[in-house]
Chains A and B, each alone.
Chain A
Amino acid sequence: MTPDELLAAADGLLERPDAATEGLWARAAALLIRQALEGAARAVLADRAPGAQAASFAAQWTVLGEVLEEEAAVGRRAAWAWAALTAACHADELRLPPTAPELRRWRDVAHDLADLG
């Protein structure tokens, strides 16, 4: 699935309430948006910094910031969204699932990054 497809799927969970996804949509959307974000980042890195994919995810986000020059702001926001999504994609009994507004913000960041790919 492309980042855009993943984001479309996340959008469906977020904006079109359905009993089938009741209660799980928020975590599912977080997983999808994170995958989209990672996919978009991979595409950008493949294009602008071939070989960077060998590095760890955390390192990749640093590289991303470097290679995005003009769009450095998008890179920074993407790194921030990824960190937040990562927290949401790991279990934590002391944290409730992300809210729709949070997910929308991260989705938008992922879109922005995907548009650069």
Chain B
Amino acid sequence: MNEALYHAVITRLLAGEGITNAAANLVEAACQGDAVLEEALSRLGAAGSTVTAPSPPPASPVPPSAYLARIEASGFRGIGPTAAVDLPPGPGLTVIQGRNGSGKSSFAEGLEIVLTGTCRRWADRPRDWQEGWRSLHVAGAVRTAATFAVEGRTAPATLTRTWAAGETDVDRSTTGGDTSPEGLGWTDALTTFRPLLSSRDLAAALERGTSKLYDEMKAILGLAEVTAASTRLADRRKRLDRARKDSRAALKQLLPTLDLEDPRALACHTALKGRNQDLDAVEEAVLGGGEDPDGRTLLAGLRTLANLPLLDLDAVGQRAGALRAAVARQAAIAGTEAARAARLAKLLREALAVEAETDADGCPVCKQPLPESWRETATREADEAMAAAAESRAAEADLAAALRSARSLITRRPAVLAGTDVQGLGSDAADAWAAWTDAPAEPLDLADHLEDRGVPLAAAVRTLRDAAKAKIEALQDLWKPIATRLAAWLEGARAVAAAEGRRGFLKEAEDWIKAVEGELRDARFAPLATQAQAIWSTLRQSSSVDLTQVRLAGTATRRKVELDVCIDGTDGVALGVMSQGELNALALSLFLPRMLLDESPFRFAVIDDPIQSMDPNKVDGLAQVLGEAARTRQIVVLTHDPRLAEALRRLDIDATVLNVARRGESVVEVTPSLDPVRRHLQDARRLVREQDKLGDALASRVVPGLCRMAVEAACQQAVRRRRLGRGESHDAVAEALAEARTTYAMVTLALFDDPAQQADTYPRLANQHGEWAPDLLRTLNKGTHHGWTRELDRLVDRSRIVADGLRK
């Protein structure tokens, strides 16, 4: 960024108003280029970074200024053999006039190609438009050249472009000569201060819309680097905007897929549907690092169901059988010796104990004396009975064991089976389990219960387990692809979230620098606008259109050049009501100041055909504008309209006028166009002088006609000067001149300002110059039609005297 501009921006930054420190850092970095901005973004928010007072960057070298000394071309466009326009290389006005097709624009286009390598006239046209770029009359190489008087160079610098003999593409030329536009450091200036202006530019300027005009006008303000900085910030902000938008769009597509029974999906849905997204929750769900409590219950519940213990139906059968067997064995023993023996042994043991405790003789039951052997016998019998009773006890113990074993199968219903509908998988298993635990006490009933309820329970549990497993798998199948997409999305969303702060600062920096750009733009454009208005007020002459304001306004797609136009005191008039001539003049008013800027290295401005549909008053205005500009700049105007040269002469504005004409074989001649009176006389004199070479006949046939033109031209100048001078309109003067069809009538009008005074014409001429003067007129008339052989030298001399007399 150039020094002055950088200072202007940074000074405002240091004032620090209306901008945060972080955004200020970004503005500063953006002014220094892409790399610096990237670095600043990467350490955005790091502590201790503040805007530093700028160390002035090295000033870019100012390109040398130059005047145009010569344009030359051969074989190019309408120019056959080498033709050249020599221009006085300094401030001043040169008008190059020629009829359409004379080759004059070829000079302007030749210069354009030398400077820019291409030609706008063809640039956006189809291929066949370009074919005329090569003269049909020259077979060999094509060449264009321009010579400049460049500041700091002792010798003029010639820049050339050549095309090989067979080249068909106008854009494929070879540069040559002493140096090149790049070598002179003009590359940027050629865009910014383009020293070439064509009627096409003028016509297009307002028609293409004022946004294009805005671009062209703004380019000259030298704010490109601020704009670039602003664009740098905007580009990055837009990139973040796009990422955010993409992330949101992707989420919008993802959200409906999360409408699942799956708790992880639901968790993500909850985390994402609101404005404040909980990305951590999503990450947990996706990576499975933890589920929310509900999710754990469901999935864990399903897993518990899938792992429910299956009843061992073999064991159920065995235990039911064992139970029944134990009951049967006990039943078999009951009522047998074994059962009675136990009671007998018990009785005998009791009896022995009673007998031993008491001294009584005899049996306490039957009161009979007990024999000596009773004790012994009873003890033996008791022992025997005891042995017999053990079997009965074993049967009893067996039954108890079988009961315990059977009952151990009746486990409590797992908690997971609580409720009427287990995880949406039905209540069969729960019901079966409930029935299972509702076991009867009676052993045989229990055995039946085991067998009756065990089989359905096992079946129900197996069904439930399978269903739970299937459900888990189904959930996994649905979830996995969603999880994958979520994980991918999450990465972007994290980046977007992380960039949110940066985006804010970028936006702030962008807004700030745009505002500064606008301020600088307005400040720098103001003097140009004033100049444009001044030029317009000279140009417009009798036009009722007033240009009250020119301003660059808006930005981006709403940028435009605001032209406040006022017609007859009515404000806010649309450009559409202006005539084409007025529009062209307005465009010229806008473009000319740019060509005259001091910052431009081009001290010359070449304007090709500025007069398009201009009324004569505007041509007078244009002559004045160009004359004014030519005081400090070299202005070269190419035109097909001789009114400009006429106006310059009449208004006494210093200018060099050159005529361009194309003869046979595309020989393009450039000759100085003197005042027409002098020109015709000089031409006549040349023919007289060259009689030996050209033959007497030619001189005798042509000289009288040229002399007559000299006299007529003098008349017209006199009439025009006089009548316009007293305020008559151009149209009225042109009409008066058109009515004076003959030389005689023209002289009358010049002498008396009254076409009716024809009778006085010859006497007045005779009175002024002598009798020869009326004779001269007669001779010129006769000679124009039939030739005149005698004393041609004197004819020319006398014509000059009469013409000068008429002009006075």
Contacts and interface: CB of A to CB of B under 8 A. Distances in A.
B716 A23 contact: no
B98 interface: yes
Given A28-B702, A35-B786, A93 B713 contact: yes
B664 A15 contact: yes
Interface stretch (B454-462, B550-558, B685-693): B685-693
A20 B97 contact: no
Contact of B712 (A14, A90, A96): A90
A24 B686 contact: yes
Contact of A91 (B649, B664, B702, B713): B713
B663 A100 contact: yes
Given A1-B701, A95-B642, A24 B664 contact: no
Nearest to A11: B664
B667 interface: yes
A55 interface: no
A20 B690 contact: yes
Contacts of B708: 90-91
A5 B645 CA distance: 36
Given A5-B697, A25-B663, A35-B701, A99 B101 contact: yes
Contact of A35 (B98, B665, B710, B787): B787
Interface in A1-33: 1, 5-6, 9, 14-17, 20-28, 31-32
Given A21-B694, A23-B669, A91-B709, A96 B659 contact: yes
Nearest to B717: A93
A17 B698 contact: no
A49 B645 CA distance: 46
A70 B767 CA distance: 53
Contact of B661 (A89, A92, A93, A97): A97
B663 A32 contact: no
Nearest to A1: B697
**Residue with the highest number of chain A CB atoms closer than 10 Å, among B705, B717, B720, B787:** B705
Contacts of B98: 96
Interface string A92-114: 11111101110000000000000
B787 A91 contact: no
Main secondary structure of the interface of B (DSSP, over half): helix
B745 to A, nearest CB: 11
Given A17-B664, A28-B706, A93 B701 contact: no
Contacts of B649: 93
Contacts of A32: 698, 701-702
A32 B645 CA distance: 27
B713 A6 contact: no
B698 A28 contact: yes
B716 A89 contact: no
B680 interface: yes
B693 A20 contact: yes
A11 B340 CA distance: 170
**Residue with the highest number of chain A CB atoms closer than 10 Å, among B676, B683, B713:** B683
Interface string A36-71: 001000000000000000000000000000000000
B671 A91 contact: no
Given A23-B661, A35-B786, A91 B676 contact: yes
A14 B686 contact: no
B784 interface: yes
Contacts of B633: none
A60 to B, nearest CB: 12
A15 B665 contact: yes
A91 B698 contact: no
B273 interface: no
A35 B664 CA distance: 21
Interface string B635-675: 00000101101100100000000010111110101010000
Nearest to B705: A31
B81 to A, nearest CB: 8
Interface string B322-361: 0000000000000000000000000000000000000000
Contacts of A34: 785
Nearest to A99: B99
A24 B785 contact: no
Contact of B785 (A21, A35, A91): A35
A6 B716 CA distance: 29
Contacts of A89: 705, 709, 784
Contacts of B663: 14-15, 17, 25, 100
B669 A94 contact: no
Nearest to A23: B671
B175 interface: no
A95 B734 CA distance: 12
B160 interface: no
A37 B384 CA distance: 180
A16 B664 contact: yes
A94 B646 contact: yes
B710 A91 contact: yes
Contacts of A31: 701-702, 705-706, 784
B661 A1 contact: no
B102 interface: yes
A83 B691 CA distance: 29
A92 B741 CA distance: 11
Given A17-B665, A28-B698, 6 more contacts: A17-B667, A32-B702, A34-B785, A95-B642, A96-B640, A100-B664
20 contacts: A15-B663, A16-B664, A17-B667, A24-B686, A26-B661, A27-B683, A28-B683, A28-B687, A31-B706, A35-B786, A89-B705, A91-B676, A91-B716, A93-B642, A96-B97, A96-B98, A96-B659, A99-B99, A99-B101, A99-B102
Interface of B: 97-99, 101-102, 640, 642-643, 645-646, 649, 659, 661-665, 667, 669, 671, 676, 680, 683, 686-687, 690, 693-695, 697-698, 701-702, 705-706, 708-713, 715-717, 720, 734, 741, 743, 784-787
Interface of A: 1, 5-6, 9, 14-17, 20-28, 31-32, 34-35, 38, 89-97, 99-101
